[in-house]
Amino acid sequence: MKSIRLLVTKKGMLYFRYYPIQPVIIFNFECLNMYDNIIITGGEPLLFPENLLKLIHNIRLVNFNIPIYLYTSIFNPSTANKNILTFLSGITFTVHNRIYFNEFLDLKKYLDEVPLEPYSKRLHIFTDFGQLTEANLYGWNVRFVTWKKDFECKLPEHEQFMRLKELWK
Q: What DSSP assignment string belongs to 99-126?
A: HHHHHHHHHHHHHHHS--SS-EEEEEEE
Q: Where are the domains of the chain?
A: 3-168
Looking at residue 151, what is its pLDDT?
47
Sheet holding 90-95, edge to edge: 24-26, 159-168, 3-9, 37-41, 68-72, 90-95, 120-126, 141-145
pLDDT per residue rounded down to tens, the chain (169 residues): 799 999 999 888 555 555 556 677 877 888 888 999 999 998 899 999 999 999 999 999 999 899 999 999 999 888 778 889 999 999 999 887 777 888 899 999 999 888 888 899 999 887 666 666 567 888 899 888 776 655 456 777 888 888 888 889 9
Looking at residue 99, what is its pLDDT?
78
Our CA dihedral for 44, 47, 50, 55, rounded to 10 degrees, sits at -10
Looking at residue 19, what is its pLDDT?
54
